[in-house]
Amino acid sequence: MEYVQLVLAQLPADKLEEALRPGGLLDRLDEHRNQLVHHHGFQDMRVVRSINRQGNVQLVVETRWADDQSLIDYETGEPTVTSILEQHSDLLVPGSLQVIDMEALRSEEWWRRFEAEQQVRERTAFPFLVPAMAFLFSVLVVYGLSRIYLELAHWKVGDVDMATPLALGISALILLGGWFVASRPQLKAWQLGAMAAVVLVGILAGAIWAAVHEEGGAQEAAAEQPPAATAPAGGAQGGGAPATSLQVRAVRTLRFDRQQLVVAANQPVTITFINEDTGQVHDIAIWRSRQDAQGGGQPLASTEFCTAPCQETLNVTLAPGNYYFNCTVHPQQMTGTLVAR
């Protein structure tokens, strides 16, 4: 806690030059400050004046004290700021001298500690917080946009899928946003925050929409899949006979309509591949194992690439064993296993 004494006085404008002369009133106040440095409990002294070019000039002398007793001892001694001003009363506007004693709710020392703690927090938190927030923002933007682009690739106007105009529109918005920020060097933090919030909300809404439609597409594909009892033998599970002829469909959201096939071993097998994933290029390839597929070798058999809607036929004869199939265009999303017995 600090105690403050304010001494207020007014000087006529035509007397200010006299007060500023060497040995004048302000010099006396400066000398007094040098004397107070050795006074018990003294903290600081400041002298300020108004900058009115006409009329009276307001003079404010502030002294700060560590405790109330130090201030009392100062006021009851000599010299004081008040006594110095009274000695130069010929320079003052009559009746303008005032003395106000106050108690500071926050001391200079408190403010110094507060600012130091603030600087420590900024120096430690910002180097970690800012990169983390930037990384999180980038991940959300990249992930959200990828989901939206994948879903819009199935929506077409004529021969153009809607992902293309969306990408062009986003590019234009990025350029517009960059121009807006560059043309306003005094941009406020809340304005930047509002721009980031609008971007995140838009991408989040688009990603949710894409996820809902993707789930709907998966459910439609499951509903369209023929029951195992009436499907060709390739859909047999458990006790069903291995197939020599079957169908595999590529459906929306980059997936096959079935992930397991059972075919007859050592017999010619015909696989009809139907690409229903509108606008997407797919094929089906059979590999000896997943490792072979990932190793970049040649498949045992594969169809030609085709853009939906389209159909290709694959003829293969396999020895008994377990095999692996995928779409070589989308080798991570579209996979399955094949059993020859």
C-alpha distances out from residue 31 to 16, 28, 61, Å? 18, 5, 13
Instruction: Please check whether residues 204 and 116 belong to one and the same domain.
Output: yes
Q: Is pLDDT at 226 greater than 70 in this prediction?
A: no
Of 223, 255, 274, the position where a domain reaches its end is 223
**Could you report the per-residue pLDDT of 34-80, keeping only the tens digit for each?**
999 989 889 899 999 888 767 899 999 999 998 889 999 999 998 99
Q: Is the pTM of the predicted complex or chain greater than 0.75?
A: no
Of 77, 105, 133, the position where a domain reaches its end is 105
- Asked if residue 228 belongs to a domain, the reply is no
What value does the mean pLDDT of the chain take? 83
- Asked if residue 176 belongs to a domain, the reply is yes
Instruction: Please check whether residues 244 and 162 belong to one and the same domain.
Output: no
CATH code assigned at 277: 2.60.40.420
Instruction: Please check whether residues 115 and 217 belong to one and the same domain.
Output: yes
Question: What domain range includes position 31?
Answer: 2-105
Q: Is pLDDT at 116 greater than 90 in this prediction?
A: no
How remote is the C-alpha of 10 from its chain's centroid? 55
Q: Cβ distance 147 to 211 under 8 Å?
A: yes
Instruction: Please check whether residues 23 and 125 belong to one and the same domain.
Output: no
CA distance 325 to 334: 9
Instruction: Please check whether residues 193 and 238 belong to one and the same domain.
Output: no
Min mean pLDDT across 79-83, 138-142, 195-199, 235-239 is at 235-239
Instruction: Please check whether residues 100 and 14 belong to one and the same domain.
Output: yes
- Asked if residue 28 belongs to a domain, the reply is yes
C-alpha distances out from residue 341 to 101, 288, 318, Å? 102, 14, 9
| Rg (alpha carbons) of the chain, rounded to whole number | 42
Instruction: Please check whether residues 283 and 257 belong to one and the same domain.
Output: yes
Q: What pLDDT, on a 0 to 100 scale, did the predictor assign at position 231?
A: 41
Instruction: Please check whether residues 205 and 258 belong to one and the same domain.
Output: no
